[in-house]
Structures are given as structure tokens and as C-alpha cells.
Structure 1
Amino acid sequence: MSLMENATCDNGTLKMYQHHIYAVVYSVILAPGLLGNVLAIWVFRIYIRETKKAVVFMMNLAVADLLQVLSLPLRIYYYLNDTWPFGHFLCMICFYLKYVNMYASIYFLVCISVRRCELIMRPLVFHSSKRKGDLLICGLGWLLVCLCCLPFPVLRSSDPDILSNSTQCFSELPTRTISLPTVWAILVTAELAGFIIPLILMLACACMTSWSLRGTRAGAIPDTGEKRRALRTVLSCVAVFLVCFLPYHITMPLDFLVKAKALTNCTLMAFILRCHPVTLCLASLNCSLDPIMYYFTTKEFWRRLSKPEIPDSIPFNRRLSCMTGGDDD
């Protein structure tokens, strides 16, 4: 589908504007996103067996971010040259990875927030065997996200006559014709499951962690410093979520309605189609913001960067912890 279905709404500068925005933003986030997430995976791989503090979820979040970053060079090429020479299949993979990253990031931000809150409120419930449960949660999360994101590429036209001669990709791909009730069903499901419910869960975790600083609760961690670190982690997750995903989930339903031809006002359509690329770029920004969040909220992350010898000391620390009866968490 072209950016403007109605000939009276055609705007020749709109496509150029969108391509310019995408090319600039993706070029800016490519290097820090690649370096930051590769570094994060390396660090978390070292500490994944040494701590219970949501590191397995952070590692999966870094993997999700890295998958999208690896597709950015092809996206940048397309938006700079206005042509896609890499074939329809690779176009669909890059298109699909964009949404898998977005909703996998939302899922793992929620998991990080919930785990940090639970470790503060009920620390005795969690022990080493819970790590297997974390792996299961991650596996189910990936499966759920991959299945739920399938409508994004599926709704694009599969007409071989159109696709074989097409040099377009991403938002310029033609879309299937679907009924308005189906459009609304998809939008409501995506907004509830992909935005509203995760936002409620993270805000609840932030409130509970904040309240734990005001008083002592039976079974909760008494260490105020640990509580503050947990609150910093949860608030960072909320901040990344609001900055990156709130604007997108405001414009996404409107953009969907434009592409489904449910809106006919040319001025409104043009406004939506100019705002949506900006919010989509903000959603991509999480690839660079997440590594910054790891550094400032995860002790294991900055400890590894500031003390390269730390892996050699891990066995000694574990033995020392066993001799003193302490927990190496």
C-alpha cells in the first residue's frame, strides 16, 4: 500500500521525510546499540550463575535489542537509496524483527521489574532452583512474542506478481484488505497486551518497591541500600518504557486506521503519517538506552567494567561465602 491511498491526499514529500528520519536515527543508534548490547551479553554471561537479580532477563533483553540492531544496516541502506535489492524474504525478516524486538523488550522490562520487586518483598522465596524457572519464563516469552508478532508480516500482501517486481520494503509494502471489526480487534489486543497491562505491572512494582523503603515488612529485605538499588532498576525500566513505547502506542492505532483506509480526512492522515515515524524511531531507541540502564542499575555490570579481574575472583568469593555461611547474591 502506498503512503497515501487517495490521490487527493498524495504528498510527494512525505516519503522523503519518512526516509530521512529513519536513516538519520538508525545511523545514530547503530554503533552504540551494537557495542552496548554485545558488551552486555558478554558481562551477563559471566554473572548469570552468580546472582538472582534478574540478570537472565537482562541478558534476554540484550539479545532482543541485538537482533534488531543487526537489521539496521539493511534498513539504513534502503532509506538512503530508496530501493530494496535484497529480496522479499529478507525484507520480511527485518520487518518482523522490528516488532519482535519491541514486544520482547516490553516483556523483559516487565520481568526485570517484577523480579526485582519480588526479591525485595519476598527474598526468602527465591533460591538457586528458581533460575530454571526464569529460563522457562524467557522461553515462553520468546514463543509468545514471536507468535503474537506474526500478524505484522502476515497482513502484508503476498501477491507474487506485486512482490516479484517490487523494490519497496517495510511501511511501503502493500497490505491485505481486512474488515474494520478485525482492525479494531487487533488494535485493542495489541494495546492491552502490549502496552496497558505491562505499564500497570511496572507501575505497581515501582509503587511496592518505593513503599518498602518507608517501613519494615515481615519477610522483606531490611537492607535500605539494596531496596534503593532495586527501586532504581524498576524506575529505569519504567522510564525506558515510557520514553520509547508510550508515544508509539499512541500513534500506532491511528496509523493502523490510516493504512486500513478507515480514515479519509487528508489533513489528519498527513499529520498521523508524519508523527508515526518519529514515535517508531523512539521505539527503536531502546536498543541504545537499555545498555545505559544496565550500567547505572546493575552492580554486576559496572563491577565487571571497572574491575577486569573480577571473573578470577568469583571462585574465591564463592568459597569465602561458603566458609562464612553467606549468600553470594
Structure 2
Amino acid sequence: ILGVGFGANLLVFSLFAKHNSVRKNRLDALLLSMALADFFSLLLIPFTLHSAVSFSWPLGDMSCKIYQFLLAFTLAASTYSLCAVSMARVMIITNPYHPPTTDLVVLMLVMAWALSFFISLPLRIFATKESLGTGLTNFTFCLPTIQEHHYQVILSQFVLYYFIPMLVIAANYVRLAIFLHKSPIMSTVSTRNTRRASLMVFLAAGTFSVCWLPGYILELCLYLGLYKHGQSWEMFYFTCTVLQYLHPCVNPVLYVLLSKRYRSNRGVWIFHCARNRVHPQVTSMTESF
């Protein structure tokens, strides 16, 4: 996961830098915001891995609080940037002659990161380093909160990090589907590009749901006492963990590396090794998706 995630996000950064596309395309600023949040979350995986393998948190209590806050903050920043991307895409497709202004995109960026900060801070204020039990002082873990507040924090994360973002993404997809259904007949190329853009919004909602919903279902099973130690439950726990860490790897591939603007670029030759083809010049507001 670390190798794929770092490679994909670094490739996204190199493509944006090479094409200077952040200045040319306002949507790329939101995609860059999401890639940065994903990249920062991947930087925290080694601490998680060390703690899981050694059954101990190697640093102090304050470092634990900072680590847990950064985990929540980067997740929120990635999620809210994803919501901003879906909103911007719908704006561009439904009103191509009046795309989002630079000021609006900057406002979206500031809101996404500021909201992530102010939501994550109270959720991790009680993060603590705790021992597993008496006589096992070497078995310490960095927990997101004290035991008394565990499920209040989990419920808050479900609502703020999953349920509300899913509503936003779903609402954008429904809005886009209604627009496509009611829109007049367009050219074949425009129709294909617009439908491809709507498919990307649908895939965004699908991958986000698949990666994060199982983890919250697992937490609910733990709360209700349904979780039992056994091979099936352990595999479910492992699968949930892997899916959550895979999301930062899926985002750059789904949103940038599969984009028509970069598919023929030499920087992504690993994804497209087919011979070059000649395409007619087509002007469309949605072909970049």
C-alpha cells in the first residue's frame, strides 16, 4: 500500500508540475488538495505499522495526540476535498459556459481544510497512550480517545467523515443524472465525455463507500457484542483495515491518472503502452474528465 500510494501520488504531483495545470485548470487545484491529504495520510502508516507489529507505541503521550489528530485531519481533508471535486465537476458539466471562478475554488479549498481542522481537533483531544493491562507495561497503544468516549467519537466520525460526505457526493450524482436525462441532444463526442464524467462521479461514491463503510460496520458489530474471535471475523477486520488504507491509493488513479489529459503522457506509460493514435481536435468542457 505504501509503495503504490506513494508512487501514484508522486506521479500526480509530477504531472501537475510538468503541465502547470493547477493554474490552467481550476479543478486540478482541488485534485491537488486531495492528493496532498492522501500523501500526508500515507506518511503516517509507518507509525501505525510499527505499533501493530511491536504491540507498543514508541513515542510519548503528546506524540500520540499529534499522531491521532493528523490521522483524523488528513482523512477529513481528503474526504472534504473529494466533496469539493464532485461539486466542481457538476458545476462544470451542468453550466459549461460559466465554470467555477478562481475565488470560488479558493474558498472551497479553504473551507475543506479549515473544516477538517476544526472537526478533527475536538475528536482527538482525548487521544491517549494506554497500556494493555496490569503487568504489561511494554504493551502500549495510541488510542484515539479514552474508553468512555470511544463510541461517541466513532459515531461522530461516521456522521462527519462518511455519512454527510456521502450525501454530498450522492446529491451531486443525482443532480448530474437529472441534468443528463433532461439535457437536449448533444454531439456524440460531447455526450460521451459528459457521460464519462458522470461515471467518474459514480465511481467516486462507490469507491469511497466500499473503502470506508465496512470499517464502520465492524465498529457497530464490536459495540453490539457481535464480534467473536475466529478466522472469519479476523479476516473481516483485516479486510476493513486494508480497504481504509487503500483509499489514498485509489484516489490519484481514479481522478488523475485515468484522465484523458494524461493518458497519453509519457509519465504514465506504465498504464498505457499502446501505440500512439491520431485523434480529431475536439473542444469540450468535459473532455478533461
Bucket of the pairwise TM-score, normalised by the shorter protein: 0.7 to 0.9
**Residue 202 of structure 1, CA deviation:** 1.5
**Residue 300 of structure 1, CA deviation:** 3.1
Partners of 1:99 and 1:254 in 2: CA distance: 22
Partner of 1:50: 24
Secondary structure of the residue aligned to 1:284 is helix
Partner of 2:272: none
Q: How does 1:53-64 map to 2 (within 5 A)?
A: 54-64=27-37
1:227 matched to 2:200? The reply is no
2:64 and 2:127 in contact (8 A); partners too:
no
Partner of 2:52: 79
2:31 and 2:81 in contact (8 A); partners too:
yes
Partner of 1:137: 108
TM-score by length of 1: 0.67
Partner of 1:40: 12
1:212 and 1:227 in contact (8 A); partners too:
no
1:64 and 1:101 in contact (8 A); partners too:
yes
Partners of 1:233 and 1:154 in 2: CA distance: 36
Partners of 1:202 and 1:268 in 2: CA distance: 31
Partner of 2:38: 65
Task: Return the structure number with greater helix share.
Answer: 1
Partner of 2:280: none
Partner of 1:96: 69
Secondary structure of the residue aligned to 2:59 is coil
Secondary structure of the residue aligned to 1:155 is coil
Aligned AA (1:249): Y
Partners of 2:75 and 2:121 in 1: CA distance: 13
**Residue 188 of structure 1, CA deviation:** 5.0
Secondary structure of the residue aligned to 2:263 is helix
Partner of 1:250: 217
Q: Structure 1, unaligned stretches of length 5 or more?
A: 1-28, 258-262, 309-324
Secondary structure of the residue aligned to 1:123 is coil
Secondary structure of the residue aligned to 2:140 is coil
2:57 and 2:129 in contact (8 A); partners too:
no
TM-score by length of 2: 0.75
Aligned AA (2:142): F
Aligned length: 264
CA 1:124–1:86 in structure 2 vs 1: closer, same or farther (change >3 Å)?
same
CA 1:230–1:290 in structure 2 vs 1: closer, same or farther (change >3 Å)?
same
1:293 matched to 2:245? The reply is no
Q: How does 1:302-321 map to 2 (within 5 A)?
A: 302-305=263-266
Partners of 1:60 and 1:230 in 2: CA distance: 20
Partner of 1:241: 208
**Residue 66 of structure 1, CA deviation:** 0.6
Which structure ranks higher in relative contact order (CA pairs < 8 Å, sequence separation ≥ 6)? 1
Partner of 1:10: none
Percentage of pairs with the same residue? 20
1:244 and 1:282 in contact (8 A); partners too:
yes
Partner of 1:124: 97
Q: Structure 2, unaligned stretches of length 5 or more?
A: 270-282
Q: Deviations 1:81-136 (Å, cap 9, x if unpaired)?
A: 22332333333333222222322222122111111111111122226xx1232122
Partners of 2:174 and 2:252 in 1: CA distance: 24
